[in-house]
Chain A
Amino acid sequence: GAGVSQTPSNKVTEKGKYVELRCDPISGHTALYWYRQSLGQGPEFLIYFQGTGAADDSGLPNDRFFAVRPEGSVSTLKIQRTERGDSAVYLCASSPPGSSTDTQYFGPGTRLTVL
């Protein structure tokens, strides 16, 4: 079946602009995760959804970052007043119902560049 998809694959924006990044998880997966990967680093956790609610948003760096998952499927990561330091690859992952410690399946990521 289809894997996790993310759109856009690349996003270039100017400092101060607002951006939205979209994630479509694997059908039937109830858990959804956002990570951020800076150049030369491993991914860092941002937020975890179980269904529609954010079960853990402790990784969001500040209040410019916000994520929603209104119907328990697609999720959108929103970044306000972008800064050059927000440039990174944003990865989304999902995992099936039953356990939050199951394998996470990752999408290809969105490369965000803030000029």
Chain B
Amino acid sequence: KQEVTQIPAALSVPEGENLVLNCSFTDSAIYNLQWFRQDPGKGLTSLLLIQSSQREQTSGRLNASLDKSSGRSTLYIAASQPGDSATYLCAVHNTDKLIFGTGTRLQVFP
């Protein structure tokens, strides 16, 4: 059974720091991996999708890497801003469904 773990569970940093959020999964037979952002009381916004054949994806200040063989992904956030404060969820696409981690709650303070 696929299990997805995210560490740390919570992170509080000053503005301007570079951050790394970690995601690990137990079954490497995945189609892709997605990183989402969730603001309080809101739905999920897709940030990056990495296909299983890819190693990384970049969008603006965000960079996500995937090492399928070791069951790991990282989300790198450069030059963090208070507007980045949210919960970040990683999810692996396993057949027809997404299996989510429990998220990392990020707070960036001015």
Q: Which residues of A contact B (CB under 8 A)?
A: 4, 33, 35, 40-45, 48, 55-56, 59, 91, 93, 100-101, 103-109, 111
13 residue pairs from A and B, CB less than 8 Å apart: A4-B43, A35-B98, A42-B4, A43-B100, A45-B97, A93-B44, A101-B93, A103-B49, A104-B98, A107-B43, A108-B43, A109-B43, A111-B41
| B46 beta carbon closer than 8 Å to chain A | yes
Q: How far is the CB of A103 from chain B (nearest CB, A)?
A: 5
Docked Cα-Cα span, A106 to B44, in Å, equals 6
Q: Which residues of B contact A (CB under 8 A)?
A: 4, 31-32, 34, 36, 41-46, 49, 89, 91, 93, 95-103
How many A-B pairs have beta carbons closer than 8 Å: the answer is 57
Q: How far is the CB of B52 from chain A (nearest CB, A)?
A: 9
B102 closest partner in A (C-beta): A42
Docked Cα-Cα span, A40 to B104, in Å, equals 10
19 new A-B contacts at CB < 8 Å, known A101-B93, A101-B96: A33-B97, A35-B98, A35-B100, A40-B102, A41-B102, A42-B91, A48-B97, A91-B43, A93-B44, A100-B96, A103-B34, A103-B49, A104-B98, A105-B46, A106-B43, A107-B43, A108-B42, A108-B43, A109-B42
